[in-house]
Amino acid sequence: MQLHNQQDALPWPAVTSRREHRCRRLYRTTARQSGNGIAINPIQSFEGIGRQTRCRIEPQAMREPNLKPYDVPRNLDQDAWFLYQTTSIPYYELCARLCEEFAELYNRFITGHGLHGAARLDYWVSRYLTHAENIRRGTGFIKHGGDYMPMIDYLNAPATDFRGLVEQPLGWMSEEQREQWDNSFQRLSYACGTGTPVLRNNLTKGRHWLNRASIGGDRVYLERDDSDPGDTADAIRHAKEHGLLSPPITFPKHPIDAAQKAHPGSVCPRTGVWVPKQWLDGANDFSLAFCVQGQPMQPAYQMHWGKPYDIWADFPMPDDDDAEERLITPLETTAVDTTWYFVLQPAAHAAPADHLPLRCEAGQACPKSGYWITPSKSGSRRYFQQGTPMLEVISDYGSTIWQWDSDQSDPKL
């Protein structure tokens, strides 16, 4: 079978407007220009740009810089709930299982088309199984030592591997298969891509704050909030749409422990969500932060709308008369001093949504009678009785992970 490379066959829904066409063209082009330091994932829709860079569209006629403060109404219980959810062990397990589900789906398609050994298709199946193993290794570090830092890279890698995936020939898939492939990757990418920025400020912000008088040109990195600043309502809504979170109708109360406080640059005394004093004093333009014990506390970040700019200036389009939405206004941040107060997590809170099939490692007792499959071997589908040991498959894929087959019909004779 001849393989055709379809790098540009990205999973976009139908174009509904010229503006949307421009958005997608910019998105593809920006994704290929990796030197700008912005991790943009072309698998997501244009709203993903807004989510990662937090910008808003402004009319072309608005020529004066919009420097108004960030004045979105805030909900501490909502934002704290989101941060605790996306740093929970169940959420990380969800990310790992999504990587496995994508690898199994991809492997099944490769097997069905008889393409094992072609290009580097098998490598990418193996790579996403490795991503799942790494995420679970990260959860072990958290459980046994409270170390969240390795999880930043473990979650970042699955979401940013998209370019390598689409550099492989993918034109051999049917339209239905490609849609399933896209949807599976989009879900894991959104899950991992949501979990990464929650932790990212712990890497350098506290140290930059301590050295702020001497960091020179690196000051720009101190001023930039590398998390997902601002109100989390949209992030929660998108996560719910992807089946990743199940937000409650009313968010549970998250009490403030006023006795437990810290200052930027000091060692974080406790892992969890922290609120800056400015928020408690009534300011709407600050964000909560998830800080890791033992790491230097980050500064607080005050948000404001920056100077509007023409996002299409470097991307001219023929017959472009759609001038009413040419400018965007980026959300910018400034690092400021504060007193952080610890935000307690309620004893009872909703766990991340879990609509994924059962999984079981080789050697463990089968949790449920039925048909199981593993990406470690093509044609691996077989019936296991509850309580019997799951078999080990010798292959180049590493650990054997069996997954519950969504199709429980008996094989056709």
Give domain status of residue 96, yes or no.
yes
Give domain status of residue 261, yes or no.
yes
Same domain? For 188 and 210 the reply is: no
Q: When comparing pLDDT for 403 and 383, which is higher?
A: 383
Q: Judge whether residue 201 has pLDDT over 50.
A: yes
Give domain status of residue 94, yes or no.
yes
- What crossing angle do the helices spanning 121-145 and 89-112 adopt, rounded to 10°? 170
> To the nearest 10°, the Cα dihedral for 195, 199, 201, 207?
-160
Q: Judge whether residue 374 has pLDDT over 70.
A: yes
**Which three-class secondary structure state does DSSP give residue 74?**
coil
Q: Judge whether residue 88 has pLDDT over 90.
A: yes
- What crossing angle do the helices spanning 121-145 and 149-160 adopt, rounded to 10°? 160
Same domain? For 197 and 209 the reply is: no
Same domain? For 177 and 252 the reply is: no
Same domain? For 128 and 210 the reply is: no
Q: Of 183, 201, 219, which closes a domain?
A: 201
Same domain? For 173 and 212 the reply is: no
Per-residue model confidence as pLDDT tens digits over 131-169: 999 999 999 999 998 999 999 999 999 988 888 888 888
Task: Please enumerate in sequence order all residues whose Cβ is within 8 A of that of 106, keeping only pairs 6 or more positions apart, or say none.
Answer: 121, 124, 125, 128, 181, 375
Backbone angles phi, psi at 274, to 5 degrees: -130, 145
Residue 339 near residue 264, CB atoms below 8 Å: no
- Structure token pair of residue 105: 């789906």
> To the nearest 10°, the Cα dihedral for 142, 237, 241, 12?
-100
Give domain status of residue 97, yes or no.
yes
Instruction: State the Cα–Cα distance between residues 168 and 76, nearest whole angstrom.
Output: 44
Would you state the pLDDT for residue 364? 83
Give domain status of residue 132, yes or no.
yes
Q: Nearest-5° angle of CA 378, CA 383, CA 385?
A: 140
Residue 297 near residue 340, CB atoms below 8 Å: yes
Instruction: State the Cα–Cα distance between residues 104 and 403, nearest whole angstrom.
Output: 9
For range 29-52, the mean pLDDT: 36
Give domain status of residue 192, yes or no.
yes
Same domain? For 213 and 181 the reply is: no
Task: Give Cα 209 to chain centroid, integer Å.
Answer: 26
Instruction: State the Cα–Cα distance between residues 177 and 305, nearest whole angstrom.
Output: 42
Q: What percent of the chain has pLDDT over 90?
A: 43
Same domain? For 95 and 191 the reply is: yes
Same domain? For 217 and 335 the reply is: yes
DSSP state of 369: S
In the sheet that holds 256-262, the strands lie side by side as 256-262, 340-343, 272-276, 289-291
Same domain? For 226 and 338 the reply is: yes
- CA distance to 145, 173, 195, 238, per residue, from 290 (Å): 17, 41, 11, 20
**pLDDT band with cut points at 50, 70 and 90 for residue 353:** low
pTM of the model: 0.72
Same domain? For 194 and 98 the reply is: yes
What is the 3-class SS of 200-214, one letter each residue? HCCCCHHHHHHCCCC
Backbone angles phi, psi at 168, to 5 degrees: -85, 155
Give domain status of residue 49, yes or no.
no
Q: Residue 235 sits in which domain range?
A: 68-73+204-312+326-343
Give domain status of residue 388, yes or no.
yes
Total number of domains in the chain: 3
For range 234-252, the mean pLDDT: 91
